[in-house]
Amino acid sequence: MMRSRLRFAIMAFVVVALVMLARMFILATYDRDFLQEQGDRVAQRAESVPTTRGIIYDRAGQPLAISTPVQSIWTDPGIDSIPTESLPDLAQALQISEEQLRSTLREASNRRFVYLKKRVSHEVAEAVGQLGISGVRFSTEFRRYYPAGEVTAHVVGLIKNDGKGAEGLELSRDVELTGETGQRRVLRARDGRRLRDIRLEDAPKFGEDITTTIDLGLQYLAFRQLRQTVAEHDAKSATLVLIDVLNGEILSLASYPSYNPNDGGDRSFSRMRNRAVTDTYEPGSTIKTFAAIAALESSKYQPESEIDTSPGYFGIGRHLVEDPRNYGTLTLEGVLIKSSQVGISRVALSIDKYAVFSALNRAGVVDEPHSGLPYEANGHINIEDLERDIGRATMSYGYGLRVSPLQLAVGYLTIATGGIRRSIGIVREPAPFKSPDQRVFKEEHAKTVLQMLEGVVSPIGTAPKANLEGFSVAGKTGTVRKILDGSYDESRHIAWFVGIAPSTNPRIVCVVVVDEPMGETRSGGGVASPVFAEVARHALQLMGLTGTPKRLVAHGNAA
């Protein structure tokens, strides 16, 4: 009986063993992939695949903003334990203090992720890697680099630490530039080590590249000229806008002082703000151009119409409008050439009280420019001032209103096109929406004003330094007293010059503004117009233009 039971037990054991062996053979042979998948699933993790921010180019394809791959060094305090004895060497390799490293680890003890150092140089990454410290991990990220630095900073802008745009085109075109991250499944060991990629679930969508209208060579030249002017005249700042008349493309937009987006140096508000679009100033005598076109539209005036400016001043209520000296009787053209406050005020008061404002409005001087850059300022005009004679008089010579340099450039573009309001822009590709051209002035009136402005850069005008050898130029100066503590300060000025060249067949409009030039020369003709001359000369050469005949300019006084 005992033997039978023992024999049965042995046979049962053998059967069970055979079944188990058979099952193991089946699993190993036929269900191997299934088991592998089940094992892998335990250690699978979803991991984001970084995208690359789009490149920003100048009009010729030279990069203005690019993303370069760099290593960031991190750890997972939840599963990693960096040996205490390794901290001194790790801190030295990271180029930070040991106390800073200990503090970082201490504060992140309850977290699953902490950067030890972000976006390190190749040398730092290599030094840390050679230490071979467990728990120290690496990830590839991208650092934004701006090849032209401060020269294009106000156009291109910069990004924040989170990779989002903060200024310039980096901000206004952030959505297109950013792209979308992807996702992949990876296999990690229990200690967090990455073993292998399993599959790519969503491919990253790379950011869209952007081509600007900026000519980098002209941008460097403009920036250099502005920096030199600020130094020579001990000015607070200087700004330039250069526009292609044929298509409204901004060829150069520069301000000095600027900042370097590649480092964390001086990023004060005075350096970072883009004065060409954000700052508004009283434009002074540059507005006389639009008062003159309003006069022509009224049919009361022609270029040779006579205006009596004697004795060099006149009163409006308790206010006094005056010229530097008595110019006597001037033609309308002579009023622009001599930049007579008295003359243009008498003209403005003799036509419809809204005529000058209407001309400014139609030309685009007071509208948002829609250039593609962020933080564009709107011009400011107090409409109630038009109900008073003194308000209409001061508006005609550019006081009592404020515009940005870019807005004034848009207004003069309308004159240069022969009276057509044309959209401007700073992005070429992807092509932005542009409003269609719209005629706002008669061509004959715009061309007549252009001819009158040629006298401003003649030897008898206010800006002979804007003259270009071999090219006809039309221009207008403005020298504006600044308001300090509620009243105009005789010692602080804004110097303006706006130039159009060639005036016989316009290709460029250029606005130059210098804030608070000091020294003997503070006028727009003396300070701002030389900057125009240097930049315009190179711009016309790049366009392949040859010299144009110049019109003989009369002296501006009535015969």
Q: List pLDDT tens digits, range 258-280.
A: 999 998 777 888 899 999 999 99
* 72 is a catalytic site residue: no
Q: What is the CATH number of the domain that holds 534?
A: 3.40.710.10
In a domain, 259, yes or no: yes
pLDDT at 29 over 60: no
In a domain, 83, yes or no: no
Same domain? For 168 and 232 the reply is no
Q: What is the DSSP string of 20-61?
A: HHHHHHHHHHHSHHHHHHHHHHHHEEEEEE---PPPEE-TTS
11-15, 457-461, 491-495: which range is least confident on average?
Answer: 11-15
pLDDT given for residue 264 in this prediction = 74
What digits encode the pLDDT tens for the residues 159-176? 998 889 999 999 999 999
Q: Which residues contact 103 (CB under 8 A, 6 or more apart)?
A: none
In a domain, 556, yes or no: no
Q: What is the average pLDDT across 330-351? A: 97
Confidence of residue 485 (pLDDT cuts 50, 70, 90): confident
Domain residues for 442? 216-542
Across the chain, what does the average pLDDT equal? 89
- Percentage of the chain with pLDDT > 70? 86
Angle of helix 405-416 versus helix 355-363 axis, rounded to 10: 90
What digits encode the pLDDT tens for the residues 197-255? 677 667 778 899 999 999 999 999 999 999 999 999 999 999 999 999 999 999 999 99
In a domain, 124, yes or no: no
Same domain? For 457 and 379 the reply is yes
Same domain? For 367 and 384 the reply is yes
Same domain? For 392 and 480 the reply is yes
Confidence of residue 56 (pLDDT cuts 50, 70, 90): very high
Confidence of residue 138 (pLDDT cuts 50, 70, 90): confident
Same domain? For 158 and 270 the reply is no
Catalytic residue among 237, 252, 255, 285: 285
Of 165, 248, 170, 210, nearest in space to 59 by CA: 210
In a domain, 195, yes or no: yes
What digits encode the pLDDT tens for the residues 298-321? 999 999 999 999 999 999 999 999
Contact, 72 vs 119, CB < 8 A?
yes
In a domain, 490, yes or no: yes
pTM assigned to the model: 0.84
pLDDT given for residue 559 in this prediction = 44
In a domain, 427, yes or no: yes
CA distances from 171 to 47, 177, 258, 374, 461 (A): 27, 9, 17, 7, 43
pLDDT at 25 over 90: no
Q: What is the average pLDDT across 444-455? A: 98
What's the number of domains the chain is made of? 2
Contact, 255 vs 150, CB < 8 A?
no
Contact, 375 vs 336, CB < 8 A?
no
- Three-state secondary-structure class, residue 332: helix
For residues 235-252, one letter each, b for 16 or more C-beta atoms within 10 angstroms of the residue's C-beta and e for the rest, the string is: bebbbbbbbbbeebbbbb
Same domain? For 178 and 316 the reply is no
pLDDT given for residue 433 in this prediction = 83
- Domain edge (last residue) among 212, 236, 251: 212
- C-alpha span between 112 and 301 (Å, rounded): 78
Same domain? For 185 and 273 the reply is no
pLDDT at 384 over 80: yes
In a domain, 97, yes or no: no
Same domain? For 304 and 327 the reply is yes
Same domain? For 57 and 200 the reply is yes
Q: Which residues contact 551 (CB under 8 A, 6 or more apart)?
A: 451, 454, 472, 504
